[in-house]
Structure 1
Amino acid sequence: MRDEALEPADLYDPGLKVVDVGGGTGFTTLGIVKHVYPKNVTILDQSPHQLAKARQKEELKECTIIEGDAEELPFPTDSVDRYISAGSIEYWPDPQRGIREAYRVLKLGGLACVIELDRNGTAVSVVMASSCSVTGAKRESGDSPLQLGPKAEDVKKPVNPFSFLIRFILGTIAATYYVYMWIKDQIVPKGQPI
């Protein structure tokens, strides 16, 4: 499934410069390095724990592995030949900002390939999930023409203590309910009321 999903990225040249955004453990990157020199591939993800798993994979030892944000890529404009993101867009707070960044970092004629699993349907369809791949080419050099306002979530701005307290309380209630339901499911036989 991974190799089929990567086909639209047109990884025909081993010298391509590729960035795998939201690359996590390097699962998709393993498919990329089948076609592209690992030294030309960068894995970017926000999770240091996921990236630690990618660093352990022998096939990815020559890849550049960095912690970063899909919505604020640490690459110059017009700097990569291929932008690939598989299974991460659903976790971005502002996907438009991430797509704008994909456009910005691509070289003229470069391809952006965003892959997402189709997780709709029954449990069986999730296990046998198919992927949806959207690929586009950069037609003009430079920054994206898409103009967006300031980021909705500015992590540098101080948090409102009241807002934090409300979120903390709601989160604690939700976590407690989840743990309660899990314990109940472990103790009470299925279909039995408590």
Structure 2
Amino acid sequence: MRDEALEPADLYDRRMRVVDVGGGTGFTTLGIVKHVDAKNVTILDQSPHQLAKAKQKEALKECKIIEGDAEDLPFPTDYADRYVSAGSIEYWPDPQRGIKEAYRVLKIGGKACIIGPVYPTFWLSHVQLKKIGPKWYRGVRRHGLIMGCSVTGVKPLSGDSPLQLGPKAEDVEKPVNRFVFLLRFILGAIAATYFVLVPVYMWLKDQIVPKGMPI
């Protein structure tokens, strides 16, 4: 599914400058470097533990790997040809701020490809949409967020985004509230369990229900 999700990013030139925001262990980056020289790719993530795993991957040895915040990117305006973020936006405290940053760091004509679990429904969105998911789902979208979506847009003008936002929803430099952290950890563990069980359930249905019949 990784290669399928990256298709809308249009990585057609090995000389492209690409930023992989929320790149974590480098799983998505491995798909990027199939099409772009690793020396032109930057992996950014808030977790040093995740990035340590990315650094161990031989194919990513020439990538620039840095810690950073998706909502406050350490890149100049009009910097990258492609912005990629996979499986990260659902964890951002203020997704609009992260999208605003994606717009800012892209060059004019540059393309952003954000891959997440929610299919956008706002009718005014001028973006390219691509559903992704395991074949055994047979296109079904039930039981919650069981399918993903690549959302791709092109930067039409140079400079910063015209979107005006207030103060950041969460300051990562402030001390962590232990109660909030524990609550988020519990909710995250429940969600992770659900996301494991649903694909197993759908796979079993795919094995039982005859091909060609809806599941």
What TM-score comes out, normalization by structure 1 length?
0.77
In structure 2, what is the Cα distance between the partners aligned to 1:17 and 1:40? 5
In structure 1, what is the Cα distance between the partners aligned to 2:174 and 2:27? 34
In structure 1, what is the Cα distance between the partners aligned to 2:171 and 2:43? 24
Matched with 1:31 is: 31
Aligned 1:43-192 pairs, distance under 5 A: 43-117=43-117, 121-122=142-143, 130-156=147-173, 164=177, 167=179, 171=182
* Residue identity opposite 2:9 in structure 1: A
**In 2 relative to 1, CA 109–121 (structure 1 residues): closer, same or farther, beyond 3 Å?**
same
**In 2 relative to 1, CA 155–115 (structure 1 residues): closer, same or farther, beyond 3 Å?**
closer
SS of 1:110's equivalent in the other structure is strand
What stretches of structure 1 move > 2 A for 4+ residues in a row?
117-122, 154-159
* Residue identity opposite 1:108 in structure 2: I
Displacement of 1:152 in angstroms is 2.0
SS of 2:163's equivalent in the other structure is coil
Percent of pairs with identical residues: 74
Q: Which has the larger radius of gyration?
A: 1
Matched with 1:40 is: 40
**In 2 relative to 1, CA 143–121 (structure 1 residues): closer, same or farther, beyond 3 Å?**
same
Partner deviation per Cα, 1:77-122 (whole Å, 9 max, x = no partner): 0000000000000000000000000000000000000011469744
SS of 1:109's equivalent in the other structure is strand
Aligned 1:12-23 pairs, distance under 5 A: 12-23=12-23
CA RMSD of aligned residues (A): 2.5
SS of 1:111's equivalent in the other structure is strand
SS of 1:75's equivalent in the other structure is coil
In structure 1, what is the Cα distance between the partners aligned to 2:154 and 2:7? 14
Q: Would you say how many aligned residue pairs link Structure 1 and Structure 2? A: 165
Moved more, 29-38 or 144-153: 144-153
Partner deviation per Cα, 1:141-193 (whole Å, 9 max, x = no partner): 0000001011122344578xxxx58x37x948x96xx9xxxxxxxxxxxxxxx
Displacement of 1:138 in angstroms is 0.3
**In 2 relative to 1, CA 158–8 (structure 1 residues): closer, same or farther, beyond 3 Å?**
closer
SS of 1:71's equivalent in the other structure is coil
